[in-house]
């Protein structure tokens, strides 16, 4: 797990590109839907919607104002878990909607060239529904895995202070040593933190 401070310019650029892509795709689909002279297949709209979902999945922490939070250990657990689940579940969905669009175009071209009829409506219903069933199933699966393995989605923010192997408290040296031992155990066994990280244990500000 990396503990280096992220480059904010890269983070902001990435979020901006995701927003531009998602909003742009939504505008294309909406413009086509409202146009009386332009017609598109249902698989094309499904393709557009899936990419809008894909783009917005990376921006949940940004919308909540927790994308670049350095004054606490982690963003809110539920939101972080949700974004992590969506980030991993949306690529298969967009791949499925892209394949559905390709298959739809292939069926129509093949029917035109061969004189055969296109597949039944039930086949198209599968193309519309299957990608989103896959997406929902994967999202639920990743949420379950994330709940069972908290350390897989933690974001560790390094401290800006010089890193020292101690915990800062006004308690006695004995208690401080106890918290130092707990901090070492926390780093090495609980969530596998690498050196140069910042966290809290029982309300004490700790650096490792």
Asked if residue 30 has pLDDT above 90, the reply is yes
**Distance between CA atoms of residues 161 and 163, nearest Å:** 6
Pick from 11-20, 116-125, 150-159, 178-187 the range whose average pLDDT is largest. 11-20
Question: How many residues are recorded in the chain?
Answer: 208
79 vs 119: CA distance, rounded Å? 42
Closest among 138, 134, 136, 46 to 98, alpha carbons compared? 46
User: How many beta carbons lie within 10 A of that of residue 44, not counting itself?
Assistant: 18
Q: The sheet that has 198-201: what strands, in order across it? A: 166-168, 204-207, 198-201
Closest CA to 168 of 127, 207, 197, 111: 207
What is the spatial distance between Cα 121 and Cα 42, in angstroms, rounded to a whole number? 11
On the question of pLDDT at 201 being above 70, the answer is no
Q: What's the confidence (pLDDT) of residue 165?
A: 36
């Amino acid at each position: 797990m990396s503990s280096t401070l992220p480059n904010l310019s890269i983070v902001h650029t990435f979020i901006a590109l995701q927003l531009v892509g998602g909003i742009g795709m939504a505008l294309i689909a909406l413009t086509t839907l409202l146009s009386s002279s332009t017609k598109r297949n249902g698989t094309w709209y499904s393709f557009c919607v899936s990419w809008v979902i894909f783009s917005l999945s990376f921006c949940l922490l940004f919308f909540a104002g927790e994308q670049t939070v350095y004054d606490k250990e982690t963003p809110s657990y539920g939101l972080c878990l949700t974004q992590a689940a969506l980030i991993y579940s949306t690529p298969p969905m967009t791949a499925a909607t892209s394949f559905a669009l390709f298959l739809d175009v292939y069926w129509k071209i093949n029917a035109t060239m061969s004189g055969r009829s296109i597949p039944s409506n039930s086949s198209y219903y599968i193309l519309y529904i299957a990608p989103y069933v896959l997406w929902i199933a994967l999202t639920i699966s990743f949420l379950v895995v994330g709940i069972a393995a908290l350390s897989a989605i933690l974001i560790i923010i390094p401290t800006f202070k010089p890193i020292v192997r101690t915990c800062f408290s006004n308690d006695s040296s004995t208690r401080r040593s106890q918290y130092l031992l707990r901090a070492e155990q926390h780093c090495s066994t609980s969530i596998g933190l690498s050196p140069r990280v910042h966290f809290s244990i029982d309300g004490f500000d700790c650096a490792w």
